[in-house]
Amino acid sequence: MSITLHTLCQHLGIATPAGKENLELTAVKTLHEAGKTDLSFFDNQQYKHGARTTQAAAVLVRERDAKTLPEGVLPLLTPQPYAAFARALQLMYPTPEPEGGISQFAVVSASAKVHPTARVEPYAVIYAGADIGPHVHIGAHTVVGQGVRVGEGTRIAAHVTLQKCSIGHNCILHPGVRVGQDGFGFAMATGPKGVELIKVPQIGQVEIGNDVEIGANTTIDCGALGNTVIHDMVKIDNQVQIAHNVKIGHGSRVVAQVGVAGSASLGAFTVIGGQVGISGHTTMADKVMVAACSAVTKSITTEGEVLAGIPAVPIKQWRRSVATLARLTKMVKGNAADKEAEKVEDNNA
């Protein structure tokens, strides 16, 4: 999509360079790849070399970094270049609105409600009592279970399964997402046949708020008795497992391959790194950050705490432990070398 610099700056709420209002921008590219009609951005000092040599027409940049750009490249001053870049992409590469209608190859229950502006792709199945709101997009081979509600503007990709859940407005569910399947609950009992595992029926729901994004092949179990709750603006990456009765607070981000055990509760704006494990029935204060490959085994009560390690501890403590272990390893190797040298001397004697 080609737009003028003035249109872009108006959209971003930043000043348009004088005399350049009608400059045409045709694409958004990296600093290294951008050409004379492209927009780019500079936010990370690791890319300073790219900023110094870029051939872009204009670059979104902080005022302090504007002098880094070559002569002739227009600096578009903003305190948050990366956020401005995201909004520029949304403007220049808008997601097309789905054309309303139900494919002749879809199967829709007579008692389901599908808004006329919603799009249902081939081989999707919508069960009785489901409620599909305006401008919803249901991808091919997706299954929407009995009584499921999907809010306005939500986009659900192919091969998604939804049951025992409600989904808010303007959400994005990527291919292979599973929502509302049974949680992992079994009661152990001893009887005439010995020890047996009795399945605990999972009768709760999943509540997903507005503006939530869920990555490919992520699974979110329904509650055992109460509900599993994903609050507004939560962003979940691919291949994440959310167990029954988990609560994830407003604006939190959960990176790929995280496992959150049953009844854990994450505060607002938490950030969970990749491959983190979170024990069941733990709670986490707001704005907590957990480094990748850590294991959270107990509740975190300090807002904004940054954790790392197995078990997860404050990151400064973890760094000291790693440094101490490295020194200890070096000492052990040194002692072993000394003993080997003594043994050689004894043999020579």
Q: Would you call 244 a catalytic residue per the annotation?
A: yes
Q: Exactly one of 6, 159, 244, 250 is catalytic; which is it?
A: 244
Q: Which residues, including other chains, have CB under 8 Å from residue 243's CB and lie 6 or more apart?
A: 183, 184, 221, 228, 259, 260, 261, 262, 263, 264, 280
State the burial class of residue 191 (Cβ atoms within 10 Å of its Cβ: 0-12, 13-18, 19+).
Answer: exposed
Question: In which residue are the tokens 């389901």 written?
Answer: 112
Angle between helices 81-92 and 5-12 (to 10 degrees): 120
Is residue 261 within 8 A of residue 242, CB to CB? The reply is no
What residues act catalytically?
Answer: 244
